[in-house]
Structure 1
């Protein structure tokens, strides 16, 4: 019987990642896994099917892909697993790590639980991204797990855009850009642009304008059967740049259009921790779940001269 195969993707530029990689290989081999290190520099290019095939080579027969790094490294690893059905499991070596499942110090326990099959798999929806550019007959197609962001290419000028929902025009305005996001990506770029936090089990897409000059330029949330569209107006003094997950980029000349809808192939994430998303939010953002009055009362009781004394 052949060994269970685990593909490892690591952030190669950080000393702690290299140390974690050595320990990970040792623990996986001790648990009976075949550990294979993937060169995650083989990244996809937007709309290039050859790069897609090349980046996913050798991944389809793995039990899972184990990622050592932060959310950026996990997004790179998602390029390997998208369309393969192989789940991702993230070891957080970054700062926030919403996509990671456990931290570096829990590595040995995590491998033991993997070996015992004590994990579940959840699916996260992705965006199917279609770009149409002037003078080109065929559209370019891509995808995103977190978000597709249209930003101005000229940093000194605004970009003029029109937005549409389900093919119907909704508004137009000048702005620095627009974030089109999944629920998973609501805690990433969309969050920093003022968008809402959406629980990952909500099947929704978000549109969040960046620094818009308009009265009606609020974040939008639409359902799974809808589509979101953007067009760079011919009056725009700046062209644009579309970026998917901070990785795959495509130039957007004036007159270009982008449409996103729910993609047919989700990303699968392996889960060892059954903690609810609320607890994850509190932990990652260090949210104050105790009010200041409670803190003051607790501090006063602790500093009281009679505190801790018995009658």
Structure 2
């Protein structure tokens, strides 16, 4: 098996965790390659480490990518995986780690489970964004696994967000912004803004206004087959669009088109790690002192 080792953080915990995985792979005779930015920490003249670039799509010769860090790192690893179907195993060396469910304290046991094929793949849908007037920096990676968010820039005034679904007018949101969340992203920013939780396989999106100036405006669930057209106006000339953790300035003269991406991303769910268990452990969902089960 050939494994890509991906990380964006050079803290001691992450480096030690990567070193432990490298030792494991060498002992088990698995091939691996390390992201270039981490290369200086693992230089070995007697046994050079193969490196790969974060600027290029991974070769399909890789069987899996291990992401070391938090959920943000896993989201950024999509840039090198994209539509290759290479699955991602998240190893949590960060904080909450909702997607990166393998804790560093359980690393060796988790690796044993993975290589014994005691896991299943969770297929996750992504959002794709196009703009009427092309934005070069955005066009390089116009996809989001968690959410696409529209928000204010350089103003405290509300945005007017005119939204059309499948060429039919939905509404004009008067709000600080709008979150369009996938099932994966429903446990992130959207949840913090009062949105519902969707299980990973749900074929839906959440449209969730941020601080709407209307007590009747609530989150809405729509089919992920829908196509959105959005026009934004405000007192500022620009507004912000974020795709997961990537932020762009967009002119209010531009039009946004959002639809389901033409590919899905596979994440690894190890035996004993499942969605509802993660909800209870990480988000304390349904926690009640009267509940003894």
The answer for unaligned runs of 5 or more in structure 2 is 39-52
Spell out the pairing of 1:96-245 with structure 2 (5 A cutoff).
96-133=96-133, 140=139, 142-233=142-233, 236-238=234-236, 239-245=238-244
More strand by share: 2
1:23 aligned residue: 20
Closer, same or farther: CA 289–263 of 1 in aligned 2, 3 Å: same
String of CA shifts for 1:69-100, please: whole Å, max 9, x gaps. Answer: 11011011122111111000001122221111
Indicate the RMSD between aligned Cα atoms, in angstroms.
Answer: 2.4
Of residues 265, 268, 273 in structure 1, which corresponds to 2:263? 265
Q: Which 4+ residue blocks in structure 1 deviate beyond 4 angstroms?
A: none
String of CA shifts for 1:40-96, please: whole Å, max 9, x gaps. Answer: 79xxxxxxxxxxx97334442211000111101101112211111100000112222
Mapped to 2, the partners of 1:39 and 1:214 lie a distance apart of 49
Mapped to 2, the partners of 1:120 and 1:153 lie a distance apart of 42
String of CA shifts for 1:120-160, please: whole Å, max 9, x gaps. Answer: 22210111111223x98xx9571111011111112433222
Mapped to 2, the partners of 1:155 and 1:39 lie a distance apart of 39
The answer for unaligned runs of 5 or more in structure 1 is 42-52, 296-311
For this pair of structures, how many residues does the alignment match? 274
Residue 14 of structure 1, CA deviation: 2.2
Bigger CA radius of gyration: 1
2:4 aligned residue: 7
State whether residues 147 and 245 of structure 1, in contact with CA within 8 Å, keep that contact through their aligned partners in structure 2: yes
Closer, same or farther: CA 54–286 of 1 in aligned 2, 3 Å: closer
State whether residues 173 and 209 of structure 2, in contact with CA within 8 Å, keep that contact through their aligned partners in structure 1: no
Mapped to 1, the partners of 2:34 and 2:190 lie a distance apart of 32
State whether residues 11 and 17 of structure 1, in contact with CA within 8 Å, keep that contact through their aligned partners in structure 2: no
State whether residues 57 and 81 of structure 2, in contact with CA within 8 Å, keep that contact through their aligned partners in structure 1: no
| SS of equivalent residue, structure 1 residue 96 | coil
- More displaced stretch, 6-15 vs 182-191: 6-15
| SS of equivalent residue, structure 1 residue 226 | coil
Mapped to 2, the partners of 1:18 and 1:54 lie a distance apart of 18
Mapped to 1, the partners of 2:274 and 2:16 lie a distance apart of 30
TM-score with structure 1 setting the length = 0.81
Residue 176 of structure 1, CA deviation: 1.4
1:49 aligned residue: none
Closer, same or farther: CA 78–215 of 1 in aligned 2, 3 Å: same
2:277 aligned residue: 279
Residue 231 of structure 1, CA deviation: 0.9
State whether residues 92 and 102 of structure 2, in contact with CA within 8 Å, keep that contact through their aligned partners in structure 1: yes
1:37 aligned residue: 34
